[in-house]
Amino acid sequence: MSAIFEHLYRIGFHEGMKVLFELVLIGIIVYAVLSFLEGTRGERLFRGVISVIIIGTAILYLVVKQFDLTRVAYLYKGFMIAISIVAIAAFQPEIRRALIRIGQARFLSSSPQQLSRSVEEIINAVTQMAAIRMGAIIVIEQQVALGEFIDTGVKLDSKVNAELLKTIFYPGTALHDMAVIIRGDRIVAARVQLPLAEMDSLKGRQLGSRHRAAIGVTSSSDATVIVVSEETGIVSLAINGTLTRNVSEAQLRRQLTSAVVETTLLVDQIQEKPKQKTTKTDA
């Protein structure tokens, strides 16, 4: 430890502040990554990688540098390169999820009036299915495209309709199992396989496959998912990896309107601003 303090004393105030800033920046980045990976297998793996890097670097500086063990230092650098390659392969799902969130934004083309009608159709279907305890899971796509999941199911192209949703989820029909995905005011796929949330992220709660799927897909996208329990008829809503149980009709309407209709209005306003500026310039 004395070597570290001597080094800090030698570098002076300006360089010390620079080192402090770099350490704080690294801490913020590590915290952001851990927050993004929270509740996934990648979180434990990332903690392990960080521990290896910190311990290895400390040993390299305190021992290897002091005794001029150049060969050990060379081997350690090769080891770190190997660790980096393994980490990239191991973090492939998390890296892919991050890139999707950053770069795969899409803008809804449906009008607010169409989306409002779709919201009412969804609420109507969910209310009726809950009353007779018909299990269902409805995924509403937003800015992050869900094409990879749509490809696992049966593709459809139909306007959102309460009767159609009830028919799809009616027990015994060919499409009743797994999820339905809605894009804008269209039902685009049924019998869709979704990723299940890991047991570690459920915080001890015993949830069925539909609820775990709702948490799983909303953890990796900005989708809104509605789940109807076939055992209790309770309606649940999943957003950003968080599941809210026993949602009332009023709460469901408020959440869907905020997530679907109001988001579309905001996107339309953002798209209109460049057009207005261009018109003024041309004039």
CB 76 within 8 A of CB 60: yes
Residue 176 lies in a domain: yes
Supply the pLDDT for residue 269: 46
Q: Is 215 found in the same domain as 91?
A: no
Supply the pLDDT for residue 110: 55
Give residue-wise pLDDT tens across range 91-110: 666 666 666 555 544 444 45
CB within 8 Å of 98: residues ≥ 6 apart: 36
Q: Is 93 found in the same domain as 138?
A: no
Residue 282 lies in a domain: no
Supply the pLDDT for residue 270: 40
Supply the pLDDT for residue 82: 78
Supply the pLDDT for residue 228: 95
φ, ψ of residue 157 in degrees (nearest 5): -155, 85
Residue 283 lies in a domain: no
Supply the pLDDT for residue 171: 92
Q: How many domains does the chain have?
A: 2
Other beta carbons less than 10 A from residue 257's beta carbon? 17
d(CA 213, CA 219): 10
Give Cα separations from 245 to 18, 205, 221, 239, 272 (angstroms).
48, 12, 20, 12, 38
Distance from chain centroid for Cα 100 = 9
Supply the pLDDT for residue 282: 40
Q: Which one of 103, 130, 147 terminates a domain? A: 103
d(CA 133, CA 118): 22
Q: Is 95 found in the same domain as 123?
A: no
Q: Name the residue with tokens 């009608």.
A: 117
**Which range of residues forms the domain containing residue 129?**
112-274
Token pair listed for 41: 């297998």
CATH number at residue 168: 3.40.1700.10
d(CA 261, CA 200): 34
Token pair listed for 181: 């995905």
Supply the pLDDT for residue 165: 95
Q: Name the residue with tokens 């993004």.
A: 36
What sections of 38-111 are H helices per DSSP? Answer: 41-59, 65-67, 70-90, 92-103
Q: Which one of 81, 103, 125 terminates a domain? A: 103
Q: Is 220 found in the same domain as 116?
A: yes
- In the chain (283 residues long), the average pLDDT of successive 10-residue segments reads 56 66 80 66 69 75 68 73 74 64 49 80 95 95 84 91 95 91 91 82 70 89 92 92 90 85 48 44 38
